Amino acid sequence: MPAFTLYGFPGSANTDRVRLTLAEGGFTDYELVILNLQNGEQKSKEHMKRNPWGKVPVVTFPDGFTLYESRAICKYLARKYSFPLLPPDSDVKATALFDQAQSEEVLYFTQPAARIVLENFAKKFMGLPPNEAVVSDALQSVEAFFDVAERLLQHREYMAGGDFTLVDIYYVPVIQRLFECGYGDVVVSRKAVNAWWSRIINRPAIQNMLDADNMAAAAADR
């Protein structure tokens, strides 16, 4: 029996945060149950019992413990299976800096970047045109975020300090989507940000998972 079941959809940024965390931890003892988001399987009565918001991802354990929200899942798994992706609890300053960096990621990057992805990526699959005014406004916020990040990353290797942590993983799926939508310049045009991104995206576990997903997607398109 697998250690737990992960309900989600590869390609969903929230699901991929968890999958990348597991890849970095070298953990494969779990079952991935794919829910078809386009068909609304995340809104089924069965899944709503796991997550009352009708979203992915969700993890369920054999003892009945269930957890949703991607960042909560990532932190729980990192603690439960001792992935070296969190500062030690005994280091209260490093933990505070981690929490600070996570807040920056959620509020100043992911919220506006997700609007760009919705308009330019998700709406394409819905057959809807993007709202250019929304994109323009969100892009200004993302540019402003990376202006600050550029200054910060001139003095540290990773978003929460000197060590690679979950916070760095949290950025990967959404930045990948920005590149796919044609907005990769927000990263590559900034020297320190681009160097940070290169350190992240070229990590073997992350690269292996992304390569496998790309191969699966290419095979599905044939």
Domain boundaries, the chain: 5-80, 92-217
Flag whether the pTM goes above 0.75. yes
Give the pLDDT score at 15: 97
Q: What is the pLDDT of residue 221?
A: 63
Residue 145 pLDDT:
98
Residue 34's H or E segment, with its range, is strand 31-34
Domain range 5-80, CATH architecture: 3-Layer(aba) Sandwich (3.40)
Spatial separation of the C-alpha atoms in residues 157 and 164, rounded to whole Å: 8
Residues 6+ apart with CB under 8 A from 73: 18, 21, 57, 59, 67
Are the folds of 5-80 and 92-217 the same? no
pLDDT at 222: 63
pLDDT the model gives residue 125: 66
The low-confidence residues of the chain, meaning pLDDT below 70, are: 125-126, 218-222
Q: 39-89 pLDDT, tens per residue? A: 999 999 999 999 999 999 999 999 999 999 999 999 999 999 999 999 999
Looking at the structure, give the CATH architecture of the domain made up of residues 92-217. Answer: Up-down Bundle (1.20)
pLDDT at residue 191 in the model = 98
